[in-house]
Amino acid sequence: MQSFAGSEGINGPVQTTEPVSLSRRIKERALLEGFDLVGIVAAEPLNDESARLKEWLARGYHGEMSWMARDPETRTNPCKLFPQARSVIVVALNYYTPVGYSGADKTGKVSRYAWGDDYHEVLGTKLRSLLAWIKEQAPLAEGKICVDIQPMMDKAWAARAGLGWIGKHTNLITRDLGSWVFIGELLVNLELDYDTEPVADHCGSCSLCIDACPTGAITDDYVLDSNKCISYATIELRAPEIPDPIADKLEGWLYGCDICQDVCPWNRLAEATAEQAFGPRENNVDVDLLDVLRLTPETYAARFRHSAMKRAKLSGLQRNARTLLNRG
């Protein structure tokens, strides 16, 4: 059993007399839970990212995602989300499956991240198990699980924890897995041993992602305008119609878009995920567009239960299908 000095518990940081040992064991346990990468950093504000986020919001690059503009300080300071936080355990999980698109007539492509089960549920389950294990080692430990829905800058925390660097397409790139990774965090009230070596930016002079984006959504190195992004338009945008400049250049995407990741040289290293939950569901790589239009609220709910594709809602998915059929 891990021994601790002090007894602040949920009201303050828990001091461990063996932070290196506990941190090492937490990382080992995270890998046993199925995560591919893990790093631990102090729960301190992301000051540089805060300035960049405010500038990005001021440009209106978040489009209709109004929740991103609500209290941006919370997104860069984990203590505003979980006041007891002293450490951030950052994990990454490979979701790459080596399956290609058929290109069949009247079908729409689905972004690779949504082929299988909802990653929020998969990562959330693993993080809950990790937190339960930590509490067994440290009875005074408390934590908060974050998987995309919570206001955490996942990619920035992963970069700070040394899992990779943020590429010019604004996705996290890892040296071993490329960018096909989901990210999650566990905020804990434990003082731990921290990773202090960031991974250098290895994008260099490469501009393949920028050049390949059909809508010019990557407006500059490391800057994405959501208003021009196919993924944003087909998932987050709630307008009854997709704007013409994007609708004319969907290139077959029904839900999401992977173009900037598909062309990234670092993804040539991608290996198939060991997580079976991310394997493609039946008819969920190339989706029959006419089938989408025939969906009812009941059949839609049944088909996409435990799927990330629920995010677009039935109305959005059918709007996307109509757009592809009309522009085909």
Q: How far apart are the C-alpha atoms of 193 and 191, rounded to whole Å? A: 7
Other beta carbons within 10 angstroms of residue 118's beta carbon come to: 20
Q: Known catalytic residue: 262? A: no
Q: What secondary structure does DSSP assign to 275-325, as a single string?
A: -GGGSPPTT-SEEEHHHHHT--HHHHHHHTTT-GGGGGHHHHHHHHHHHHH
Q: At 82, which amino acid appears? A: F
Residue 58 vs residues 27, 51, 95: alpha-carbon distances, Å:
38, 11, 33
Burial of 250 (0-12, 13-18, 19+ CB in 10 A): buried
Q: What angle do CA 291, 293, 295 make, to 5 degrees?
A: 75
- Which helix (H) or strand (E) segment holds residue 38: the answer is strand 37-42
Placement of tokens 């949504």 in the chain: 114
Query: Which is the catalytic residue, given 48, 105, 118, 148?
Result: 148
Q: How far apart are the C-alpha atoms of 296 and 12, rounded to whole Å? A: 50
Closest CA to 150 of 81, 57, 99: 81
Q: How far apart are the C-alpha atoms of 260 and 258, rounded to whole Å? A: 6
Active site residues: 148
